[in-house]
Structure 1
């Protein structure tokens, strides 16, 4: 089967679909690729995402609130439509975020929601967009597969946005069909492809695997056009994999490695409700109202998040005049994880059976 004909008709009985990147950064690039594939099959497909940039684009910690976006058309309290000229005002400078870059590449508006308000904001923002755009289904896109993490994995770097995204998708109080798309597993240099496949198999054993799709030559043409404007190492991995990339490659300023293979060209489509049942991080942040509240909950579970890392990296930048690189970034992360462990042990020693 080719294109998006089977992609939608096999498990979505609708014609109007929002493809929505939940992980921040370049997830919107893959969401756009899938949306354009759907359009080639005659579907009315929209593109959207949360707004959280990588540190190299926006060193100010945390997702970008809707109120810090300029040149946008507000839909509601938690949502807006952005253009290629839209910008974010962050730390006294303008930031061209990836949703606006995709809008520029395609010469069309892209929808965004407010991740800074965590699950409540994203869920309400999705509801606002669904009503405004009259869509009948939401396909939430995660590039890499961290949305399937349990939280204790050593190489889990960015669990927060994905956990909130899955929680919000399930929580959104709208009568539409919902699908979770896990694309290009391991492309972000975090969880290994083998481990993510194991997690997908767990979802599948519960009846939650809806299907899978590989990218096509036409998708690659679209990706190349998008990546002329947008910046996403993880989204670029699928492009390289399609062209024959194999083996270990370094990304993220030398801080991470990926296992490049044809697996990065595949999208797995999952039932989000069944996925939530085996996703403890998303369960934990289901009713959060701010990204800091969500972060605190994951911290209490011993999970060091991308927000923690960004704050530590920002402190490093103010001291050294530049962002940390490679081993420096890994050291910051290990020190941060150690602090969380120390706090957990302190709480245990103070209140457990061995406390004084």
Structure 2
């Protein structure tokens, strides 16, 4: 194994304030909580955030919401906004981030990915500086961020690839971490596929550490998943309580296997994941819009979550 490219312990001992983002949309912000509590042990103040992209079952309009489609939100910059418990879409859909803001009595961030990687990088760079943050952490619930791109079950690569590429680029300016929580809990990558990706990252010195769900955090997550509609972030909670075996999610179309691996957040260097594993992230790295990123993923035959939502939306309109 190569020498680790970053010392997790030294980085956390020197960090003062972190932006911790759920990078896949939906309920991924719930998956940031174990990491937030871990960072707080080092005295790090954490600012939570996620994407303004709810699953189609809650928001039938395809894709993430843009600024003019959101009410009760404060603009930090063109791609990073500040949400509160009252933040909703113009059609009345509440974001998972809004619920989290209400539960904790704190404002949270929303990151607009519709301007592609270029927009996310610019926005997060500005947010880090304006908010005085020196650590940027992206949390992926399930593991799509470490997909090579050819995995048969890969169904929602768009948001994760844009955010993984963005965080990787910013690793040249800030201390950054990519965390995978849930180990297959979204039913897309198999455990064997995840193990293959993790092995590559480990050989390159990119596995920086891990942290599990403590009893206190388990109680907190139980409370949170009772308020935030999420399936993928709920799987680790069930596994931590001793549930085992297979379970179906997403209306029965995906299967997940419950085991203790899903209770662990694995921290990796985003640059290693970007360079050695994630072809989707590399393909979208030059994107300046959501459409550009989506088309880049089409070049290797991927059908993204945006494609799925558009297909379902058109089918409903045709009924």
TM-score (norm 1): 0.84
1:79-135 Cα distance to aligned partner (Å, 9 max, x none): 11100111112xxx2110111111111111001111111212221221122112101
Q: Spell out the pairing of 1:132-281 with structure 2 (5 A cutoff).
A: 132-172=130-170, 175-278=173-276, 279-281=278-280
Question: What's the secondary structure of 2:92's corresponding residue?
Answer: strand
1:266-301 Cα distance to aligned partner (Å, 9 max, x none): 111001111111211101100101111111111121
Question: What's the secondary structure of 1:29's corresponding residue?
Answer: helix
**In the aligned structure 1, how far is the partner of 2:50 from the partner of 2:158?**
15
Question: What's the secondary structure of 2:235's corresponding residue?
Answer: helix
Match of 2:299 in 1: 300
Q: Quick check: 2:246–2:257 contact (8 Å CA) kept in 1?
A: yes
Match of 2:36 in 1: 35
Match of 2:23 in 1: 22
Q: Which runs of 4+ in 1 moved over 2 A?
A: 7-13, 36-42, 171-175
Match of 2:54 in 1: 53
Q: Quick check: 2:116–2:288 contact (8 Å CA) kept in 1?
A: yes
1:227-251 Cα distance to aligned partner (Å, 9 max, x none): 2321110000010000112111010
1:302-339 Cα distance to aligned partner (Å, 9 max, x none): 1111111111111122233xxxxxxxxxxxxxxxxxxx
Q: Quick check: 1:49–1:113 contact (8 Å CA) kept in 2?
A: yes
Q: Quick check: 1:11–1:210 contact (8 Å CA) kept in 2?
A: no
1:60-96 Cα distance to aligned partner (Å, 9 max, x none): 111112332211111011111100111112xxx2110
Question: What's the secondary structure of 1:274's corresponding residue?
Answer: helix
Cα drift, residue 39 of structure 1 = 2.5
Match of 1:9 in 2: 9
**In the aligned structure 2, how far is the partner of 1:166 from the partner of 1:40?**
25
Match of 1:319 in 2: 318
**In the aligned structure 1, how far is the partner of 2:289 from the partner of 2:96?**
22
**In the aligned structure 1, how far is the partner of 2:100 from the partner of 2:35?**
13
Cα drift, residue 10 of structure 1 = 4.9
Match of 2:72 in 1: 71
Question: What's the secondary structure of 1:62's corresponding residue?
Answer: coil
Cα drift, residue 174 of structure 1 = 7.0
TM-score (norm 2): 0.93
Cα drift, residue 173 of structure 1 = 8.0
Question: Structure 2: where are the runs of 5+ without partners?
Answer: 1-6
Q: Quick check: 2:79–2:111 contact (8 Å CA) kept in 1?
A: yes
1:120-157 Cα distance to aligned partner (Å, 9 max, x none): 22212211221121010101110100111122211111
Question: What's the secondary structure of 1:233's corresponding residue?
Answer: coil
Q: Quick check: 2:116–2:293 contact (8 Å CA) kept in 1?
A: yes
Question: Structure 1: where are the runs of 5+ without partners?
Answer: 1-6, 321-356
Question: What's the secondary structure of 1:82's corresponding residue?
Answer: strand
**In the aligned structure 2, how far is the partner of 1:156 from the partner of 1:139?**
23
Larger of the two Rg values belongs to structure: 1
* Alignment pair present for 1:310 and 2:301: no
Q: Quick check: 2:38–2:211 contact (8 Å CA) kept in 1?
A: no
Match of 2:93 in 1: 95
